[in-house]
Structures are given as structure tokens and as C-alpha cells.
């Protein structure tokens, strides 16, 4: 079962604020904490003590803290990749290598006696993970995560994201990607246009980002990259992540009837397996509500993303729910009762025949 995570940046905040945020995330079942120790500018002992305070508190909530580090920090702190006792004493669940070594070091690090997880960068698109695998790592301790991108238009392109993720999937390694909070105001650096892995996610609602990552089938864990997400966002993330099926937002049409509302929003839908190129069919509503009335209204021509219900004119099909995948002419027998919310229209590509889904009214 995958896990949800948050990010905290102790050097840019206070322990009290971080503690409150950890409590909030814990309330909604979040298990992972991402934090970074990329450079230590001031008094080393003071920075590390403050850092450990946050890690200890997260551990007391049984959350797993992943610390992002770069190789320069190993030198600065006098740590060898052969001896990870420093991170064990800190209470870290794992360390994320901001920049990698050559492959053999990573493999050796996975065989550490503390079972500290070694998290490597998934976004490069090189043979990095294949190289590490040639050195026989302990795959129980090797996991991957995508980068996040604070600069608008620098995030990952979708096909690159897929190709990179599949390299990790083929070895059954745990994968993670970042999503973006719109309530959050900071990350590890001053630049802040949000902190997501996929560029296409930057302006989407957080729940929509989560739904998309889950529907790709390529990502186990999902972490909010920036701090602090709002309670409403954490709750929406948890609901989307824990739902056993995708939930797609619909904007109802002005003339939608009560019977049509019941068809859309009070039923689990199933994408009929003998698929059509023109529409996604959910046929059971015509069985459940065969005695209800579905008079004709809003019978304009149909475009992709329209939500449809066959009216009285379609005989035994009356009451069937459909989602348009292509433009279609309407001869008056199909009511256009709403539209998939524009920001989730792209999710239609990810719904598979025989899969179940729910429709909810867009706020």
C-alpha cells in the first residue's frame, strides 16, 4: 500500500510550526516526511540539533523521515558512504541522494546495517538505476523519487516521466512523486512557483494531481513538495489517495433533472468493457431507473467531455449514463446533462474498460 507524505524545511521555519503541520498530516494518515539538509551555512551543531528535534517528533508519530543530502555534505560533515551511523543516530528512515555517486557506492549503501533506505533520483532518464542494479544492491533498501521543480515550465514532461518511472517499475522498486500545494508559500529555495514533479500539475487542484499519479499506475507514494499545505488540501489528498476507485468532477448542466442527478452522483459507474471510440458507457443506470422518467432536454450536438443520459426517445436505452469521448451529432434522443470539469478532462484517457469510477459535482 502506498503512502502519502509532506515536506518540511526546518531551516526556513520554526519547530512549533513544523510540529503543528506534522500533527495535521498525521491526522489524515500521512506517513512520509521529506526534508533537506543540502547545505549547512551556520553553526553545524546548532543546525543539526534543530534538525534532529523535528526528526524525533516525526518519529514519535511513527512517520518516516527521508533526508535529502548532496555529496558535498558528506565531506562537510566528515561522513563516509560506508558508515551511515550519523543518519541512524539522527533518526532518519532514509537518505535521498540529491546527486548520485557511480552506482557501486549506492549499492554498498543499501547494504548498511541500520536498514536505512537509500532513495535515488528517478527523473534523469539515464541508465543510473540499471547501473546500480548491476552491483547487486539490497533492493529492500533501494527506493526512487522524482525531483520537484520550483521554476515554472521546468517540471517533467509526461512521456519522460513515464519512461523514467518504468525503469524503476521493472525492478519493483518503490516510487514517489511530488505534488504541489496552492496554500503553501515556501520550499528549500527562495524561488517558489510551486513544487511539483510534473509540469502539467502546477496549476491543478491537489486532489486532481493525486488522481492522475495513481491512474498512471507508476507511482506508489505521493508527497506535497512545498510547505505548508492547508488542512483542506491534506484532507482532499487523503480522500483521493485512499479511494478504491477514481472520482471525477462533473459540472452539471442548468437543465439537469433530479432523476439525472441520481444517475450521475448516487451510483458507482462501471466502464463497459465492449468499448466504443465515441463514448464511455455506464449501462446499469438504465436498469436501476427503467421506471423513471427521462424527458428530452438539452439535445445539442455533443463534444468530448459531455456527460450524457439517453432520454425517452431511445427506448430500452433510456436512463443509460455516458461520457462523450468524441464529437457526435445529436438526433434529439440524448440529453447533455453536464460536462467533465475542464481540469479533469485529461483523466478520461486513463479510465480503462471494466474499471469502476464515481462522479461528483464540481464545487
Q: Model confidence over 90-142: pLDDT tens digits? A: 999 999 997 788 899 999 999 999 999 999 999 998 999 999 999 999 999 99
The domain 248-361 is classified under which CATH number: 2.40.10.340, 2.120.10.80, 2.40.50.140, 2.40.100.10? 2.40.100.10
45-71 pLDDT per residue, tens: 888 888 999 999 999 999 999 999 887
pLDDT of amino acid 191: 82
Mean pLDDT of the chain: 95
Residues 6+ away with beta carbon under 8 Å from 236: 205, 206, 207
- The structural domains of the chain, with segments of one domain joined by +, span 4-243, 248-361
Lowest mean pLDDT among 40-49, 92-101, 141-150, 256-265: 40-49
Most confident of 26-40, 94-108, 147-161: 147-161
Which residue's C-alpha cell is 519493483? 172
- Residue 298 pLDDT class (50, 70, 90 cuts): very high
pLDDT of amino acid 114: 98
| Residues 47 and 40 sit within 8 Å (Cβ to Cβ) | yes
Residue 338 DSSP symbol: E
pLDDT exceeding 70 applies to what percent of the chain? 100
Is pLDDT above 90 for 73? no
Please give the model's pTM, rounded to 2 decimal places: 0.95
Q: How far is CA 63 from CA 26, 34, 93, 102, in A?
A: 8, 10, 9, 30
Quick count: other Cβ atoms within 10 Å of Cβ 157?
11
| Residues 282 and 269 sit within 8 Å (Cβ to Cβ) | yes
Report, as an integer, the average pLDDT of 277-292.
Answer: 98
pLDDT of amino acid 345: 98
pLDDT of amino acid 77: 85
pLDDT of amino acid 42: 75
Q: Which is it for strands 176-179 and 221-224: parallel, antiparallel or unpaired? A: parallel
- How far is residue 102's CA from residue 109's CA, in Å, rounded to a whole number? 12
Considering only CA atoms, which of 270, 268, 256, 271 is closest in space to residue 335?
256
pLDDT of amino acid 43: 78
Domain spanning 4-243, CATH class: alpha beta
Q: How remote is the C-alpha of 103 from its chain's centroid?
A: 28
- Residue 80 pLDDT class (50, 70, 90 cuts): confident
- Residue 38 pLDDT class (50, 70, 90 cuts): confident
Considering only CA atoms, which of 243, 283, 285 is closest in space to residue 265?
285
Amino acid at each position: 500500500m502506498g503512502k502519502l507524505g509532506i515536506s518540511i524545511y526546518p531551516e526556513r521555519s520554526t519547530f512549533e510550526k513544523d510540529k503543528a503541520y506534522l500533527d495535521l498530516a498525521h491526522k489524515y494518515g500521512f506517513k512520509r516526511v521529506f526534508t533537506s539538509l543540502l547545505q549547512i551555512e551556520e553553526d553545524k551543531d546548532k543546525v543539526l540539533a534543530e534538525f534532529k528535534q523535528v526528526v524525533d517528533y516525526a518519529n514519535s508519530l511513527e512517520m518516516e523521515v527521508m533526508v535529502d543530502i548532496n555529496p558535498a555534505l558528506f565531506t562537510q560533515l566528515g561522513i563516509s558512504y560506508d558508515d551511515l551511523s550519523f543518519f541512524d543516530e539522527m533518526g532518519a528512515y532514509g537518505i535521498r541522494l540529491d546527486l548520485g555517486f557511480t552506482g557501486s557506492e549506492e549499492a554498498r549503501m543499501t547494504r548498511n546495517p541500520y536498514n536505512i533506505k537509500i532513495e535515488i533520483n528517478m527523473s534523469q532518464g539515464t541508465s543510473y538505476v540499471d547501473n546500480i542494479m548491476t552491483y547487486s544492491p539490497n533492493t529492500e533498501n533501494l527506493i526512487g523519487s522524482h525531483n520537484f521543480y520550483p521554476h515554472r515550465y521546468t517540471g517533467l514532461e509526461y512521456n519522460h516521466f513515464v519512461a523514467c518511472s518504468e525503469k524503476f517499475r521493472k525492478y519493483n522498486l518503490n516510487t514517489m512523486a511530488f505534488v504541489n500545494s496552492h496554500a503553501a508559500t515556501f520550499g528549500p529555495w527562495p524561488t517558489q512557483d510551486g513544487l511539483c514533479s510534473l509540469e502539467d500539475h502546477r496549476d491543478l487542484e491537489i486532489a486532481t494531481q493525486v488522481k492522475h499519479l495513481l491512474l498512471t499506475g507508476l507511482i506508489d507514494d505521493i508527497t506535497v513538495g512545498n510547505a505548508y499545505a492547508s488542512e483542506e488540501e491534506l484532507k482532499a489528498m487523503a480522500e483521493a489517495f485512499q479511494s478504491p476507485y477514481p472520482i471525477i468532477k462533473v459540472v452539471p448542466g442548468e437543465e439537469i433533472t433530479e432523476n439525472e442527478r441520481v444517475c450521475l452522483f448516487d451510483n458507482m459507474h462501471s466502464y463497459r468493457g465492449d468499448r466504443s471510440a465515441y463514448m464511455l458507457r455506464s449501462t446499469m443506470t438504465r436498469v436501476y431507473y427503467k421506471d423513471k422518467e427521462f424527458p428530452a432536454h438539452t439535445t445539442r450536438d455533443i463534444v468530448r467531455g459531455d456527460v450524457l443520459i439517453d432520454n425517452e426517445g431511445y427506448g430500452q436505452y433510456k436512463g443509460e449514463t455516458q461520457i462523450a469521448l468524441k464529437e457526435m451529432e445529436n438526433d434529439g434522443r440524448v440529453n447533455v446533462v453536464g460536462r467533465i470539469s475542464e481540469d479533469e478532462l485529461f483523466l478520461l484517457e486513463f479510465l480503462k474498460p471494466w474499471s469502476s469510477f464515481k462522479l461528483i459535482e464540481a464545487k
